[in-house]
Chains A and B, each alone.
Chain A
């Protein structure tokens, strides 16, 4: 079979157009490199030390750009809301194939380890790579493993809704307390001494907020995956 029959001409011309654009941009960039590039990263890294958190990315995501993170969580919540609206609860359709015996045994063995790793990534987000988003999605992937291996498994909705209400409310409440104490939304009002940098209890509100983000992301992602597996909609 020839390549020309599989790919329509519009796709090939699109490839060619994007390649020529990329070459043009690279050419312009290579000819106009300034001698010393000014970046905002160095300034932020200097500021990072004042909060007493070892991982600079966490400081930027949760503290300097904490309001954006609140917006991202809201976007995720709206996405799960839309899925729940679209997929009807009355139309249950489970996967036709029964899961393998090997998959069931392996998921029983792997589920606690995945949960433990997710909680570790979540709690140590201010010391090592990772954090709330990644830890929450790791926990949700463990629940997804249970969902695809056991047909009768269901996510406990009362627990998940309670966790989500708690997490979403406490994020805003912590931000408002910071507004009251330090005149700044999400101000770091807990002790964040630089001598404690690298300890588990350091950085004031930053690890607390990342754990909250992890709880919210984990519960939302597990509900999204349960909706996608268990319910269906006639197209």
Chain B
């Protein structure tokens, strides 16, 4: 059961990452990048690394994606 969950999470992360790379709109790509971070949080938690999971949840899918969105907004003002 847990192996099946791990396999599903792995495949989901790969699919979301590929979708994020091939996205035309940059904001969609950033939202999908957040999804990659979320999937890796689940993986870290299953593999008994809650410290790394907390770090990834806060930094990887929280603050860095917000900073990407803010940078995107600044860039749109320039054009």
Contacts and interface: CB of A to CB of B under 8 A. Distances in A.
Contacts of B55: 133-134, 137
A232 B51 contact: no
B38 to A, nearest CB: 16
Interface stretch (B3-11, B28-36, B71-79): B71-79
B6 to A, nearest CB: 16
Q: Number of contact residues on B: which range applies? A: 10 to 19
Interface in B33-58: 50-51, 53-55, 58
A140 interface: yes
A232 B50 CA distance: 37
A131 interface: yes
Contacts of B78: 235
B63 A221 contact: yes
Contact of A137 (B22, B58, B71, B77): B58
Contacts of B53: 129
Contact of B54 (A129, A141, A225): A129
28 contacts: A3-B22, A57-B51, A93-B77, A95-B70, A95-B77, A96-B73, A96-B77, A121-B54, A129-B53, A130-B51, A133-B55, A134-B54, A134-B55, A134-B58, A137-B55, A137-B59, A137-B63, A138-B58, A140-B63, A141-B62, A141-B63, A141-B66, A144-B63, A148-B70, A225-B67, A228-B67, A228-B70, A229-B70
